[in-house]
Amino acid sequence: MPEFSFELNDEQKSVRDWIHGFAQDVMRPAAAEWDEREETPWPIIQEAAKIGLYSLDFYAQQFFDPTGLGIPMTMEELFWGDAGIALSIVGTGLAAVGVLANGTEEQIGTWVPQMYGDASDVKVGAFCSSEPDAGSDVGAMRTRAVYDEAKDEWVLNGTKTWATNGGIATIHVVVAVVDPELGSKGHASFIIPPNTPGLSQGQKFLKHGIRASHTAEVVLEDVRIPGSCLLGGKSKLDERLARAKEKARSGGERVKNAAMATFEASRPAVGAMAVGTARAAYEEALEYAKTRTQFGRPIIDNQGVAFQLADMRTQIDAARLLVWRASWMASAGKPFTSAEGSMSKLFASETAKKVTAQAIQIFGGNGYTREYPVERMHRDSAIYTIFEGTSEIQRLVIARTLAGMPIR
Name the region of 251 (left: φ>0; alpha: ψ -120 to 50; beta: rest).
left
Strands 187-192, 297-298: pairing is unpaired
Degrees (nearest 5) of the Cα angle 141, 270, 16?
150
Q: List, in sequence order, every residue forming a beta bridge with 284; answer none if it has no partner.
A: none
388 in catalytic set: yes
Q: What does R_g of the chain's alpha carbons equal in angstroms?
A: 22
CB neighbours (10 Å) of residue 255?
A: 17
Burial class (CB in 10 A: 0-12, 13-18, 19+), 119: middle
Q: List, in sequence order, every residue forming a beta bridge with 125; answer none if it has no partner.
A: 171
**Which one from 33, 371, 388, 392 is the annotated catalytic residue?**
388
CB 279 within 8 A of CB 348: no
Strands 215-226, 153-164: pairing is antiparallel
Please report how the helices 258-291 and 83-90 are oriented relative to each other, as an axis angle in degrees rounded to 10. Answer: 150
Residue closest to 56 by CA, chosen among 133, 115, 143: 115
CB 160 within 8 A of CB 133: no
Dist CA 216 CA 163 (whole Å)? 5
Question: 271-310 b/e with 16+ CB inside 10 Å = b?
Answer: bbbbbbbbbbbbebbbebbeebeeeeeebbeeeebeebbe
CB neighbours (10 Å) of residue 29?
A: 11
Catalytic residue list: 388
